[in-house]
């Protein structure tokens, strides 16, 4: 982000902030992450239960045949691979291990 800025000297505070907080560069992956999770959520929202999702495998679903699915899915995988180290637990359940890899043969509940 800051390396692409031609006028670093004009933005000394931003420049120093990025230098001091290198993990902030991972924010660039959030749009791809959010795009896919919103896509899946919108596609399945109010159509299946959690129990049904446990029994559905992504690669067997019609959604994988949709025009932009593979692009969104691959962008999501790349994003996750880059931000998973920053995955944190919010006070919403039991402690879980960070998912280290995804595949299309995962159940929908995992994704």
pLDDT at residue 109 in the model? 67
More confident residue, 93 or 82: 82
Rounded to a whole number of angstroms, the CA Rg of the chain reads 18
CA distance 109 to 111: 5
pLDDT at residue 90 in the model? 61
pLDDT band for position 2 (cuts 50, 70, 90):
very low
pTM of the predicted protein model: 0.71
Residue 96, pLDDT above cutoff 70? no
- Any idea where the domains of the chain sit in the sequence? 26-86
Q: State pLDDT tens for residues 33-91.
A: 999 999 999 999 999 998 999 899 999 999 999 999 999 999 999 999 998 887 766 66
For residue 84 the two structure tokens come to 């998973």
Tell me the average pLDDT across 10-14: 86
- The candidate with the shortest Cα–Cα distance to 111, out of 62, 53, 61, 65, is 53
């Amino acid at each position: 982000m800051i390396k692409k800025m031609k006028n670093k000297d004009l933005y000394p505070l931003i420049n120093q902030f990025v230098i001091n907080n290198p993990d902030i560069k991972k924010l660039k992956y959030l749009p791809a992450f959010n795009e896919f999770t919103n896509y899946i959520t919108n596609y399945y929202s109010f159509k299946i239960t959690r129990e049904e999702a446990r029994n559905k495998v992504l690669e067997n679903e019609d959604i994988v045949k949709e025009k932009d699915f593979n692009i969104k899915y691959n962008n999501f995988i790349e994003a996750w691979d880059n931000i998973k180290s920053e995955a944190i637990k919010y006070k919403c359940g039991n402690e879980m291990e960070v998912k280290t890899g995804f595949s299309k043969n995962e159940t929908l509940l995992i994704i």
